[in-house]
């Protein structure tokens, strides 16, 4: 794999997630939430969860959303809520970076910016409202609306800032660090294993959300990026463990880096560290913000059809979707204006984990659901070419076919059907000789003389229990000389091909070809219920600090997902993902969500309700109002029925042909009268600007 491809992957958003994790979230965890050893073990668990979540999201890349929307609304709603939660996670990440930028600007000016804007009585830690953060969001939004594009220069600036911050942290740890954090009896402060899960949940967004293409170089790039993120977070955790010793604080510190430098006696490095953090946060913001308005544009395309198409239109001057950029910037500004950094970090983790839960759940049950809800049965019948020999119709064979046909219908529909004594056969129209010869040549039959076959029901022929009809047909040696014009080389090739065809009766179906049935779907539903009970038992054991219950639930989920591998399933619709991977992803999602749901569940519920309202009603009420063709068609209302119109048009044409006028009824189209207050009525039109 070339270095250019790895750089492209880092510049596509993975580098910004790494910068957010190592420069902002790591300090928040160690200084406010848990101890440094808890974070170190949380990094390992977050690496495992990040790999499984990225695998699930990458497998859905080739999914056709229009087909999913047309076939199953539940699947479509599940996938939409996943991308809806991705949008919330990107919003929270941008808002957290904006508030960090505000604190950096205030630290670089020595507090003068806060005093000039909010006065001397404004809190120094996290001022409310955060005017500087909102100003930063509006500035970046305006730049993207005017044509700013994503560049690799942002990644270069971000990398330099990260190196500067790590150098400062390493120097402080070398001069003033100790190993007191590793000498205590309780490594996982303050709540034991729950602190590890909390640190894991907050760090889960730092890993790549999806991987490159599933080829050899793509897998190598994914492994390399995941390892890079894991090593960077581990080094940050080790350095912080030598400097920061966990203790409770009265208030949540927004930027702990400045407090760490002050407590270590390096207060003169605060402006320099603020400058490095400013570069890192601003470059990360410029990389994550395009991802946010890209989601808005995607929801406005024909693939999803959630928002109006006008939102995805690009400006002819700047080349960027102005409306989508404005919507994304407004949402980020609202969060950065009033939401504290603690709630932003918790909501960021909860929304990212919720999106992973929905994708893992979709991949777990979709391959096992049958496409056609019909009972499973193994048949020994096979479709074959009908014989060209004359078939004598017997009463016993027809009665057997009728009885088997009725049995088949009763088994398929489960209802009683009335028996028909006789079937009406359509009258055959006489056709000339050339048409018959062309049809026979097209169907692969020999040329004339055409053997006359007795009519027989096709269904009765297939379902009959008797012997298969003879397939050999003796052709006469001499044909009519009138058919010599149609006897070509094609006839010889067709006859040679027909000699190789044999009518056979297939044996039982192959045991290796197993497709989902209603019975297997019921077994899958039972397995999903057992998985849900195991996850609930595991979470209850963690909440009550009862280890046997937690291990029992986790082992039960693992065993059930292994057993689901023996249930028939489809493997061609999406990339085949192991049910064990999906089941363990569900377990980790629920466990990690329980750790960060304290400060995030109200906002998450409101956001999910808004998404449900949009997916249920928006495509029927809000978006169709922009389709002017339907409005124009609704204004043309015929005053008579279709039969009258057809007869009227026919009579009018006859009258015009005979030179008479007024013969036959006239057809009128009634157009609704415009309101009296409106002087001029213009039909709605779609205005296309010059590109």
Q: For the segment 388-409, what is each residue's pLDDT rounded down to a tens digit?
A: 444 444 444 444 444 444 443 4
> Which of 150, 151, 154, 148 has its CA nearest to residue 322?
148
Q: Give the span between the Cα atoms of 670 and 675, in whole angstroms.
A: 15
For the chain, the domains span 6-361
pTM, two decimal places: 0.71
pLDDT for the residue 649: 42
Helices (H), 366-463: 395-413, 433-443, 458-463
Q: Give the span between the Cα atoms of 611 and 613, in whole angstroms.
A: 5
Q: For the segment 355-366, what is each residue's pLDDT rounded down to a tens digit?
A: 999 999 999 999
Q: How far is CA 600 from CA 88, 463, 587, 590, in A?
A: 12, 62, 19, 14
Instruction: Determine how β-strand 637-638 pairs with β-strand 669-670.
Output: antiparallel
Q: For the segment 463-503, what is each residue's pLDDT rounded down to a tens digit?
A: 444 444 444 444 444 444 444 444 556 766 666 555 554 44
> What does the pLDDT average to over 35-50?
92
Q: Which letter does DSSP use for residue 365 in this model?
A: H
pLDDT for the residue 382: 42
Q: Give the span between the Cα atoms of 282 and 100, in whole angstroms.
A: 9
Of 143-157, 186-200, 432-446, 540-554, where does the model show the most confidence?
540-554
pLDDT for the residue 129: 78
Helix axes 193-203, 341-365, angle to 10 degrees: 90
pLDDT for the residue 216: 66
> What does the pLDDT average to over 339-344?
90
Q: Give the span between the Cα atoms of 307 and 121, in whole angstroms.
A: 44
Tokens of 8: 């492209």
**Which pLDDT band holds residue 81 (cuts at 50, 70, 90)?**
very high
Q: Give me the chain's average pLDDT, please.
A: 75
Statement: residue 508 has pLDDT above 60 = no
**Which pLDDT band holds residue 685 (cuts at 50, 70, 90)?**
very low
Q: Which CATH architecture has domain 6-361?
A: Up-down Bundle (1.20)
> What does the pLDDT average to over 113-134?
80
pLDDT for the residue 558: 95
Q: Give the span between the Cα atoms of 140 and 101, in whole angstroms.
A: 12
Q: Give the span between the Cα atoms of 86 and 288, in whole angstroms.
A: 12
- Where does 438-529 show beta strands of DSSP type E? none
216/94: higher pLDDT? 94
Phi, psi of 638 (to 5 degrees): -70, 140
Q: Give the span between the Cα atoms of 66 and 87, in whole angstroms.
A: 20
Tokens of 676: 């009296």
SS3 (DSSP) at 669: strand
pLDDT for the residue 431: 59
Query: What percent of the chain has pLDDT above 90?
Result: 32
pLDDT for the residue 457: 46
> What does the pLDDT average to over 426-453?
54
Q: Which element (helix H / strand E) includes 5?
A: helix 3-9
Any idea which residue has 């300090």 for tokens? 27
- Which class for 384: exposed (0-12), middle (13-18), buried (19 or more C-beta within 10 A)? middle
- Which class for 140: exposed (0-12), middle (13-18), buried (19 or more C-beta within 10 A)? buried
Q: Are 176 and 243 in contact (CB under 8 A)?
A: yes
> What does the pLDDT average to over 232-257?
87
> What does the pLDDT average to over 617-625?
51
Tokens of 471: 């397939």
Q: For the segment 58-68, what is each residue's pLDDT rounded down to a tens digit?
A: 888 888 888 88
> Which of 18, 22, 283 has its CA nearest to residue 170?
22
Q: Give the span between the Cα atoms of 131 and 127, in whole angstroms.
A: 9
Statement: residue 48 has pLDDT above 70 = yes
pLDDT for the residue 500: 54
């Amino acid at each position: 794999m070339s270095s250019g491809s790895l750089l492209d992957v880092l510049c596509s958003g993975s580098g910004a997630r790494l910068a957010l994790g190592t420069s902002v979230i790591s300090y928040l965890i160690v200084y406010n939430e848990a101890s440094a050893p808890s974070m170190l073990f949380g990094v390992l668990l977050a690496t495992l969860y990040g790999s499984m979540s990225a695998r699930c999201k990458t497998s859905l890349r080739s999914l056709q959303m229009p087909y999913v929307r047309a076939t199953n609304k539940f699947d479509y709603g599940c996938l939409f809520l996943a991308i809806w939660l991705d949008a919330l996670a990107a919003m929270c990440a941008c808002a957290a970076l904006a508030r960090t930028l505000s604190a950096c600007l205030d630290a670089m000016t020595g507090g003068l910016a806060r005093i000039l804007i909010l006065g001397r009585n404004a809190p120094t830690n996290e001022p409310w409202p955060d005017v500087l953060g909102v100003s930063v969001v509006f500035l970046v939004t305006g730049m993207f609306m005017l044509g700013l594009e994503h560049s690799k220069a942002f990644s270069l600036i971000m990398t330099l800032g990260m190196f500067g911050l790590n150098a400062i942290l390493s120097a402080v740890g070398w001069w003033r660090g100790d190993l007191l954090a590793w000498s205590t009896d309780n490594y996982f402060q303050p709540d034991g294993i729950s602190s590890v899960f909390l640190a894991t949940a907050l760090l889960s967004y730092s890993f790549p959300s999806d991987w490159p293409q599933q080829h050899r170089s793509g897998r190598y790039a994914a492994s390399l990026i995941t390892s890079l993120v894991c090593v960077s977070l581990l080094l940050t955790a080790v350095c912080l463990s030598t400097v920061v010793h966990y203790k409770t604080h009265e208030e949540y510190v927004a930027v702990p880096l400045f407090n760490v430098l002050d407590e270590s006696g390096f207060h003169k490095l605060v402006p320099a560290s603020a400058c490095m953090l400013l570069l890192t946060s601003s470059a990360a913001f410029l990389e994550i913000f395009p991802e946010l308005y890209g989601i808005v544009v995607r929801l406005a395309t024909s693939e999803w059809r959630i928002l109006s198409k006008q939102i995805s239109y690009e400006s002819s001057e700047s080349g960027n979707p102005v409306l989508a950029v404005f919507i994304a910037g407004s949402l980020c500004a609202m969060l950065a204006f009033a939401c504290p950094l603690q709630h932003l970090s918790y909501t960021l983790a909860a929304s990212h984990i919720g999106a992973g839960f929905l994708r893992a759940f979709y991949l777990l049950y979709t391959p096992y659901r049958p496409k056609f809800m019909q009972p499973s049965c193994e048949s020994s019948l096979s479709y074959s070419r009908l014989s060209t020999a004359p078939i004598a119709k017997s009463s016993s064979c027809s009665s057997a076919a009728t009885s088997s046909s009725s049995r088949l219908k009763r088994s398929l529909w489960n209802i009683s059907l009335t028996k028909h004594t006789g079937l009406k056969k359509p009258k055959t129209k006489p056709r000339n000789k050339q048409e018959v010869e062309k049809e026979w040549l097209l169907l692969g039959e020999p040329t004339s003389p055409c053997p006359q076959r007795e009519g027989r029901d096709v269904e009765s022929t297939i379902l009959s229990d008797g012997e298969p009809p003879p397939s050999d047909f003796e052709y006469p040696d001499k044909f009519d000389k009138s058919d010599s014009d149609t006897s070509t080389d094609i006839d010889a090739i067709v006859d040679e091909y027909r000699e190789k065809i044999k009518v056979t009766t297939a044996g039982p179906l192959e045991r290796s070809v197993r497709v989902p049935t209603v019975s297997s779907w019921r077994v899958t539903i039972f397995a999903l219920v057992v998985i849900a009970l195991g996850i609930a038992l595991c979470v209850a054991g963690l909440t009550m600090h009862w280890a046997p219950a937690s291990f029992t639930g986790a082992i039960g989920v693992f065993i059930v997902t292994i057993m689901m591998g023996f249930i028939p399933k489809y493997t061609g619709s999406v990339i085949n993902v192991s049910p064990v991977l999906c089941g363990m992803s569900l377990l980790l999602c629920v466990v990690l969500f329980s750790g960060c749901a304290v400060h995030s569940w109200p906002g998450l519920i409101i956001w999910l309700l808004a998404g449900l309202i949009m997916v249920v009603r928006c495509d029927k009420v809000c978006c169709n109002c922009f389709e002017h063709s339907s409005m124009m068609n609704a204004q043309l209302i015929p005053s008579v029925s279709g039969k009258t119109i057809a007869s009227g048009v026919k009579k009018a044409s006859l009258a015009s042909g005979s030179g008479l006028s007024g013969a036959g009824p006239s057809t009128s189209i009634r157009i609704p009268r415009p309101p009296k207050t409106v002087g001029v009525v213009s039909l709605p039109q779609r205005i296309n600007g010059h590109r």
